[in-house]
Structure formats: structure tokens, C-alpha cells
A and B are shown apart, each in its own frame.
Chain A
Amino acid sequence: MEGNFIKIGKNLVPAEEYVAEGHSFCTGCGEVLALRLACKALGRNVIIANATGCIEICTSPLPVTSWRVPWIHTLFENTAATASGIEAGLKIMMKKGKMPERDIKCVAIAGDGGTSDIGIQALSGAFERRHNFLYLCFDNEAYMNTGIQRSSATPYGASTTTAPAGKLSIGQTTWKKNLPEIAVAHNIPYVATASPGYPFDLMNKVKKGGEVSGPAYVHILSPCPTGWRSPSNLSVKLGKLAVETAMFPLYEVENGRYKLNVDPPKLKPVEEYLKPQGRFRHLLEGDIKEIQEHVNEEYAKLKAKVACFAA
């Protein structure tokens, strides 16, 4: 192990910051918190390919940069493809003796839009080709960088600028696309969900994903005070409540085997997660009940998969 560490309880966290201060993320941003933790978990031997989005914009206004690790941004939908080229390029140059053999992890970073909408084709291709890379999806559940437009990862009932709640609409009329399951369907060695509400779990998963040989995918819920219209001091709490209500369960799938990482003896009602957020403010009792039923159903399906591998 290299560098200095901070002791938090029984956990040692690297003191090194790879995303430098001076960035322009919003106050209380859950995404940059998760990003900092992820980078600490990965260390310095990485090359990061970043899709267009909040992280890219908030860390790289020419002529300055927040990145203390090698970093590249090219476009919005092509991050997994760019990562494919980085990974393949490094591997072949090491094989041909054009650069010294060493461990350099290629890490792709994108938001939920860049992953579940416009970037899904490139991501699917990179998974299928078995590139040795880690893909981190920072999911703040809408196009926050362009002004809170809906994505396919926006949860049912949330009000966004392109699926606003109104007299005739509840807001988002579709259920959140299940990206981790789509990743699992590619039979890649490692898939996990994480939340900055559980920082050590998040760091462990990112570290594990970085150590896997082959494609790995970590889907990170990223509470967004600006887009969720929630108080900026509640991001970590919402990151916990999402898990405690099973709106966003924490699990990992290693070589196809499901494991639940946080399994509350009794789930909190989804209302506790929805209420502090302005994007759900318009929901009526019946709507919340519908969401609760959906969450129960999805959680039961997940637990059934976990049970398959319990023995």
C-alpha cells in the first residue's frame, strides 16, 4: 500500500485526493462525493475516460483541470468505445514491448444519460468484447448538466423539465431502466450498485471492480440537490434512505452470483425517501402506494435471485 491514510472507525481511507479542489460542482453534490471516494479507491494507476456531463464540465474548464490522474474527454455517447481503445492500445503496446509491462486500469465514467440512453450501444459493445475496464455510472437520475431533463433512469413520478408534473401528467410515466441488470445480461465478471450514503461499501466495490480482469460495472446513485430539489445537507441521508427503502438496493453480482450487501430487517416506507425531494412533491397518496408496490415487487425479485446463490 502506498501513501497516507486517514483512519475512520476501523477503515483506512487514502488521504490522497485525485480530484483536486477548485471544481465547480453544486453545494451538496452527491456525485462529486462519490467520485472522490471512487478515485481514492482506485489510486493513481488509472486512465479515466469521461463522458460529457456534470463531472466532465465541473472538472475541466480550459486552461485548468481538477484531474491528478490521466484523463480524457472526447464526446457524450462514446466513452465505453474510447475506453476500449485505451485498453486495447495499452495492452498491445505492452505486448509489443513498446511500453513497460504494468497495471494500468482503464476506467470509464458517465452519467445516467450517457450510460442508459445515448451511450448504451457503445457500452454494450465494450462489454461484449470483454475489454478489461471498469465502467462507473454516476446516476443522478436525469440530464442534470443540461437542466434536469428526463432520462430513462429517471424514476417513475419524478418531475423533470421535459417530463414535468402537470394537470394531465404525473411527470415521469415510466419506471427506471434497470442498467445493472442489463450489465449482468452481458455475463461480465462484476456488477455492483453503490451509494455515497455507504462510503466504504462504495469504495470496496470500486476497488473490486478495478481489480477484476474483464469488464466491470458499478452503478452509483448520485443524489443531486439541484435536480432532486432537495436540501443540500441531505445528500448523504438520501443516499442512505434510497437503500433503506429499497428504492435503490445495494447488491453485487460476481460471475453471475447475486449478493445483497445491505439487507435491512425491515424496509422503511418509500415515502421517507420521496418526501424530502421537491421532484416528488406533487405525488398523491395513491401514487406513492403505486411506487411502494413496484419497489416491493422489484425487491422481491432481487431477493429471489440472491436466494438462488445463498447456499
Chain B
Amino acid sequence: MSKRVGLEASFAAAEAARMANVDVIAAYPITPQTHIPERLAEMVANGELEAAYIPVESEHSALSACLGSAAVGARTFTATAGQGLELMHEVVYVASSMRYPIVMTVCNRALSAPLSVWGDHSDAMAVRDTGWIQVFCQNNQEAFDMTLWAFRVGEDSRVLLPVMVHFDGFSLSHVTEPVILPEQEEVDRFLPKFQYAFALNPDKPMTHGAFGPPDIYSETKVAQEVALRKSKGVILQGWQEFGDVFGRYYDPVESYKIEGAKLLLLTMGSFSETAKAAIDTKKDSGESVGLINLRLWRPFPFEELRQAVKDAETLVVFDRCISFGGPVGPVCSEVRSALYNEKKRPAVVSFIGGLGGRDVSVKDFEYVIDRGREVAQKGSKELFEMVGIRGQVTGIRG
């Protein structure tokens, strides 16, 4: 029997790694990720998990050690946040380019300077083009489910790509919620053993990571791009199988009360649950609104997004990251781009807020819905609007 327990998202992710029976964990402590490696170190120390825990001296070495353990066929896990993800940035590219199915949870955190340990999506957006599969969790159950699912998808011989599981620093990583933990038998049914056909082994010497001269580099990159896009099929299959075993089904694009809605709000991560409360309030007062929770960020779910928003007049996108000097928020930018060639498409309005742990309340989402509708109808000279900012400048012009 599965059991319902109170867990932080961090502990939920650690539980998932334990139940996946990971072989190697290499991690470096950084707020707000610390509870994940702490809990795993405890499990190893208490004999609840048989794994090598490598207490590395930096995040750069954390992911580098993961490259080594994955290269010999070990199931490999790490976790980081904010500056840690930035420090390992060059290794992040290498992990996907060398096709090592490492699973990494990222407790999303703002980037320095000024130093902030609190949540936003700047760290995730800085690695969006690194070739990893990226998913965003909206609650602690998803933190468990996505971490487990990440091993299933990344290690699939048709995929062999690393997977980043994002959940918001503090607002999920440190908040206790009820989480349903499955039986080990169910996990074993869902998650096969990692069988890596290309493991480094003296009996069958292989070269990993040869350098790419100009006459071959482009082909390697195209192959990688095709592999990431093709992983979509296994991603969907993985969620289907997950639902069949555990009873919870997931989609790349989650819709909430969107039927017939004229205005849709699009959010990612923990924002989505708060936004749902705003949608409920608005619906109760007779407004035609719904919510899109973008769960799969890479590969970008173009078809599912187009399908979800096709009947809406207005799409309000709420980012948690600034693309300095760019068009709008990074998520909004991609959403617009995904809809650009559609004959019938909603007006897309951009808001940015919740930076560096700034709280965004149900009221703020209600404001964004009202203001978004107004901008869509009357137009605006502003590229996007900052939400919940003190001072005069809240609208940013191009």
C-alpha cells in the first residue's frame, strides 16, 4: 500500500532518488537545495540506500563526477540551485552532448548580484539551451513523481539524455505538503534497471568525448537536437506508464478550467497552484478565464500549447525571470514564437514578477488577469509589466 506522508519537496525528491536505488550521488551544498543532499547522505549513512555519496568540493565537480559515474553505467543523481547551476554551466552542456542520463533536481533560485538565496526562474532559463529535458513541478507530489519519472525517461535507450527537475526554492523545497509515497514494488515495476550499452569497460574499449573538427561538429549537434526532440515520444510514454502504475497522469501542458475561456493565464512551477485559486475566484464572479501550467519546458511542447490556447482571445504569460534587453519574459517570448505562424491566435501579454523570492499572491494574479485583458483590448506601448514593484517604473518599453 502506498502511504500519505508530510514531506518537503526536497525530501520528496530525495525519497524518489532512494526508491530509484541510485548508485552515485555527487553534490555540493547550496541554499535552498541543501535538504536534498543532506537527506540522501543520511540515508546512505543509515544503510537505507546503498550508494556512493561523493561530497565534492564544488558544483563544477559535482556534475563532473556525475559524468564519470554515468559513463561507467551507474545510475546517477545530483541536485543544485542558482549559483550552483551557473558554476556547473559548462558541464551542463557536456552532460547532454555526451548523452549521459543524469537526473538533477534544481531548487530554483535567483542569480547574484545582489546575492539572493530565494526563488525565481533565472537559473533555469540560463540553461534552457543546454540540451537537457526540463520539467517544472507545481507541488511536492510532482517533485517526487517527476524525479522518479526522470530516471525512466533519461535512461531509456531511445533517449539517453540528462533530465532537470525544477521546483521552486523555499516555496516548494522547504514547505511541507502531503505526498503519496508508493510501494517499492510499484517503483520497480515502473523503473527498469539502467542498462547502459556504451559503458566504459576494459573488455570493450570505447572513446567518449573525442573532439569535433569543423567537418563533423555540426553533424554531432544535429544528432543531439534530433535526439532531444524525439525524446518527446518517450516523455509522453513515461507519463502514461507512470499514470498506469501510480494513478497520477501528467501532460506536457496542463489545462485548468480552460474550456470556453476567453482569457488564459500561463504560469510555471509553484505559481500555478496559487494562480488556480485566482482562476477560481474569477470564475465564481462570472469571468471567462482558465489556466495553463507549462510543465514540460524542454523539449518545448509546441503542439500541446497551440491546442490548449487555440480558442482563447487573450493569453497572459507570467514569467519569473527577466531576459535583460530582450523582447519580453523568456517564457512569453517562446510562447509567442510558438504561436506566431498560427492563423488564429490569442493576443499574448507579458508580465514578470516574483523575482528573488518576492511573494506573488492570489490578488496579484487577479490583477494580472484584469490588466492583461485591458492591455489586449486597448494595446500598450510597453513590452511587459513588472508586477508588485515599488516606484514609478513598472512598465518596460522597448
Contact = CB atoms under 8 A, between A and B. Distances in A.
Do the two chains bind? yes
Interface of A: 44-47, 49, 56-57, 60-65, 67-75, 77-78, 80-93, 95-96, 98-99, 104, 121-122, 124-125, 128-129
B56 interface: yes
**Most A CB within 10 A of own CB, among B62, B69, B213:** B69
Contacts of B206: 70-71
Nearest to B201: A70
B200 interface: yes
Contact of B91 (A67, A74, A95): A74
A78 B94 CA distance: 12
Given A69-B205, A70-B208, 4 more contacts: A45-B202, A72-B207, A85-B67, A89-B74
Contact of A84 (B23, B54, B210, B211): B54
A85 B67 CA distance: 7
A296 B206 CA distance: 46
B220 A62 contact: yes
Interface residues of B, number: 46
Given A70-B201, A78-B60, A88 B210 contact: no
Contacts of A125: 56-58, 61
Interface string B164-186: 00000000000000000000000
Given A85-B54, A89-B73, A92-B51, A67 B98 contact: no
Contacts, number: 174
A62 B61 contact: no
Interface string B197-239: 0001110111111111100100010000000000000000000
A57 to B, nearest CB: 6
**Most B CB within 10 A of own CB, among A63, A70, A87:** A70
Contacts of B208: 70-73
A86 B211 contact: no
A267 to B, nearest CB: 39
Contacts of B68: 49, 72, 74, 81-89
A74 B69 CA distance: 13
B50 A92 contact: yes
Question: Lowest 5 A-B CB distances belong to which pairs?
Answer: A85-B68, A125-B57, A89-B69, A78-B64, A85-B65
Interface in B128-150: none
B207 A92 contact: no
B216 A81 contact: no
A55 to B, nearest CB: 12
A240 to B, nearest CB: 33
A124 B200 contact: no
B211 A92 contact: no
Nearest to B208: A72
B202 A73 contact: no
Interface string B36-62: 000000000000001110111110111
Given A91-B52, A125-B56, A78 B207 contact: no
B103 interface: no
A104 B199 CA distance: 13
A67 B205 CA distance: 8
9 contacts: A61-B210, A73-B211, A81-B56, A81-B62, A84-B61, A92-B24, A93-B73, A96-B50, A98-B23
